[in-house]
Structure formats: C-alpha cells, structure tokens
Amino acid sequence: MTRPASVATGIVDLLADPRLLPAAQFEELAADILPRCDDWRIVGPELVYRGWLTRFQALMLHRGRGHELLLGSYVLLDPLGEGGMAHVYRARNWKLDIDVAVKVIRQDRAADPGAAGRFLREARALGAIDHRNIVRALDAGVEGGRLFCAMEYVPGTDLGRLLRDDGALPAETARAYATQLAAALDHISRLGLVHRDVKPGNVLVTADGSAVKLGDLGLARFDRPDGALAGLTRVGVMVGTPDYVAPEQIRDSRGADIRSDLYSLGATLYHMLAGRPPFDGPGTMEKLRRHQEEDPVPVERLRPDVPADLAEVVRTLLA
C-alpha cells in the first residue's frame, strides 16, 4: 500500500510487527483507518480507544521511540515505576499472551562492561526461587544492548504507596503481611540468599489485599562465598534504605545476613503499625546514626490498640 505522509513510515512499519498489532488489526488499520485519516494525532487516539494500543505506546510512537517498546518476546505496555537502577514496565509476552513485569536496566548503569554478566548471573540465581510470597523472575536477556529481566506481574499496588495513601494499617492486617514476609525471608535464607533491602516499596500487595509478595531482589547477594551473587558488593558501599536498614548493614553491607533482613522487616512492620518509619530523622546521616544508637518510640505508645504480643514482635525484630 502507499504509506501516508503524516503517519511516518517508521510508525507503520512498527505497527506491522505482530508484537504491537496482530495481523488482523494491522490489515484493518491499513485498509480502513489510514485511507480515511493519515494524521497520527487522530489515528493514535483512535487505536487507543479501540484498545489496540495503550496511551503509553501511542505516545512513544508519536515521539519516534516506538522501537523501544519491543524487547525480544515482550512488548512494553505501561510504565510501572523507576528507580536509580532500572525502569519497570507492565509488558506482554506476545507468544504466550500473558502479562509480566519487565525491568529494563538504565543505559548509564549498563555501561560497565561487566554489568551484563553480573545482571544475568543474578537473574538466573533468582529465577530458581519459587515461593508464593516472592515475585519470581521468569526470564532475562540482552536485546538491542538493553539488559532486561521479566518477572511475575502482580496486579495491585506496593505497600509503600498503600501506606502513603491510607496511613497505618489495621493491626491484624499488618500482622498477616509481616507473617507472609517472614515466610519469604525464611525461604530465601534457606537458599543462602540475603535480600538487604526489605522495605514497603519492595513489597507488592495483591489487588484484593489478601497477600503480599517480596520483590526487587536487585541488591540481594548469596551468603555462601561460592554463591552466584557473592562478591558483587564493593567494599565501603552501603546498600539498603536508610529508613529500614539494619545497624550492622550500615557498618558493612557485606556482613549482612538473615538478621539484617529481619531488622528491616521489623522496621517495615513498625511503619505498617505506626504510619511512619521507626526514626523520622531530619536527614539520612541522622537516621543512620539513630538506627545504630537509639531505640525507637515503642509502637504501642503511638498505637495503643496494637496487641501486646505484636508490639513485642516489633521490639524483638528491632533489637
């Protein structure tokens, strides 16, 4: 067919890829839609309205970045979040027609020649973990110079956002979530793995609120010296998040073990019950100091309705 001038040739070529549009939809686009209108500012929203593209996909195509939507067997659908190390997207495995979460390492972080090897070794190690309260890694690879890891997609929200939006949780909900996270930590500990960044933002809450899953093991390492992730931490570099990090992890992240993860679980449970982290210091260094030198205000003083046994669990974890 003769491609219209306003809908760039590159966009049409990309839409012909079955990862973006199935053949039947592309044929309808070519035979019915484009002959009537060749302005992408109209065609794009029409395809979104029909449910053929997401708004994010239409915008990326409009910006000339449509090729970034395609990643091997995956097509990116919507952004889920981003951090210092990676962007995370909801994506679809077009061969299996299932939704997944895909983490794409930022280009500036992947510039290290050894980064690809480390990342893929980590993904392979994490792919062996199978537990109902842990987000599982499904696939990993390098596509067009981009490092990615495909993970189980968990519809819902993360615990950090839930706490920001709704505040402290009911005591029994917090207990249930902490129990599930403890089971997840016990499982990875038996495999010799230390998470090292347990915090609300790394905990996904299912859509019905009944379960949580521990995710983002990007800072994890194996406790065994021969483990696949051993030795990836540089001397003198602290890993973790200041609001939840264990004192010994502040001093030497390489020495972190299950006790460090349990401390971070305690700080997370404290946040679930109190509506704030254990130490609300004015800055990062002050928070790190207080983790090492002080005890937090007893959670039952902030929440008198917290059962005594649950308050004791918090104290024990943060001891």
Instruction: Give this prediction's pTM.
Output: 0.82
Q: What is the pLDDT of residues 23-80, one digit of tens each?
A: 999 999 999 999 998 889 999 999 999 999 999 999 999 999 999 999 999 999 999 9
Which of 136-150, 230-244, 279-293 has the weakest average pLDDT?
Answer: 230-244
Catalytic residue at 197?
A: yes
Domain span including residue 255:
156-317
The secondary structure of 150-206 as a DSSP string is: EEE---EEEHHHHHHHH-SPPHHHHHHHHHHHHHHHHHHHHTTEE----SGGGEEEE
In a shared domain, residues 232 and 310: yes
Could you report the per-residue pLDDT of 277-288, keeping only the tens digit for each?
999 878 888 888
State how many domains the chain has.
Answer: 3
CATH number of the domain enclosing 96:
3.30.200.20
**Residue 147 and residue 161 in one domain:** no
In a domain, 197, yes or no: yes
- Write the CB contacts of 172 (distance below 8 Å, at least 6 apart in sequence): none
Among candidate residues 158, 197, 243, 261, the one labeled active-site is: 197
Domain-ending residue, one of 152, 173, 198: 152
DSSP state of 240: S
Identify the domain boundary among 152, 181, 213.
152
Give the domain-ending residue among 104, 121, 152. Answer: 152
Average pLDDT, the chain: 87
